[in-house]
């Protein structure tokens, strides 16, 4: 069954949203690289890559359902932050925005009776729970440093070595 126009437009918007998230996290990575915190930077680069993969999952679904992908422009991302905490908070808040987007898409699929797309979105619902949890945990760790540069550097090392720190697995 081909996609309805409404669903195709909404899925295309979400491809754009995921690419927007990818670019936003890459910009946060540049902030951390500029601050000399390569562990945080790597963590955010990893997430930028994941968001690109999310965009491609939806991209592939559109073509599997005989639709067409139409890419839009991506807005300039924020890369200046007052602190590491503010930068991680921006990522956490961005994840919450994406969760809202996925929920709206899920509801639209119910209205349009597009159960195939709704099933594809189940993966995203679970992913958002995982991502929000992960970002919140890193935010809590960042807050615990109280912006002390020594503690920040220790945390940075942990993020760079996931097997020891455990926070950069996703
Ligand atoms: Fe694709 Fe982290 O939202």
Per-residue pLDDT reduced to its tens digit, 80-126: 999 999 999 999 999 999 999 999 999 999 999 999 999 999 999 99
In the predicted model, residues of the chain with pLDDT beneath 50 are 164-166, 168-170
Task: Give first-to-last CA distance, the chain, whole Å.
Answer: 34
- Please choose, from the candidates 29, 153, 35, the residue with its C-alpha nearest in 3D space to the C-alpha of residue 79: 29
DSSP state, 70?
-
**pTM attached to this predicted model:** 0.92
Are the beta carbons of 37 and 153 closer than 8 angstroms? yes
pLDDT of residue 74: 94
pLDDT of residue 166: 47
Using the atom order of ligand 1, give the atom closest to the CA of residue 17.
Answer: 1
Instruction: For residue 150, report the distance from its CA to the centre of ligand 1, in Å.
Output: 31
Using the atom order of ligand 1, give the atom closest to the CA of residue 95.
Answer: 2
Q: Six-digit token pair at 26?
A: 């890459």
What is the largest distance, in Å, between two alpha-carbon atoms of the chain? 57
List all residues 6 or more positions away from 73 whose beta carbon is below 8 Å from its beta carbon: none
Instruction: For residue 74, report the distance from its CA to the centre of ligand 1, in Å.
Output: 16
- What whole-number distance in Å separates Cα of residue 114 and Cα of residue 70? 20
- Please choose, from the candidates 123, 132, 129, 130, the residue with its C-alpha nearest in 3D space to the C-alpha of residue 105: 123
């Amino acid at each position: 069954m081909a996609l309805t126009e409404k669903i195709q437009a909404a899925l295309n918007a979400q491809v754009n949203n995921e690419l927007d998230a990818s670019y936003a996290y890459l910009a946060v990575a540049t902030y951390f690289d500029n601050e000399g915190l390569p562990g945080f930077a790597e963590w955010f680069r990893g997430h930028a890559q994941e968001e690109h993969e999310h965009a491609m999952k939806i991209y592939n679904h559109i073509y599997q359902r005989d639709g067409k992908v139409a890419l839009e422009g991506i807005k300039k991302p924020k890369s200046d932050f007052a602190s590491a905490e503010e930068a991680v908070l921006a990522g956490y808040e961005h994840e919450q925005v994406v969760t809202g987007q996925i929920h709206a898409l899920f509801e639209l699929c119910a209205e349009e009776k597009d159960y195939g797309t709704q099933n594809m979105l189940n993966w995203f619902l679970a992913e958002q729970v995982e991502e929000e949890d992960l970002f919140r945990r890193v935010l809590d760790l960042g807050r615990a440093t109280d912006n002390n540069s020594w503690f920040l550097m220790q945390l940075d090392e942990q993020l760079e070595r996931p097997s020891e720190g455990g926070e950069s697995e996703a």
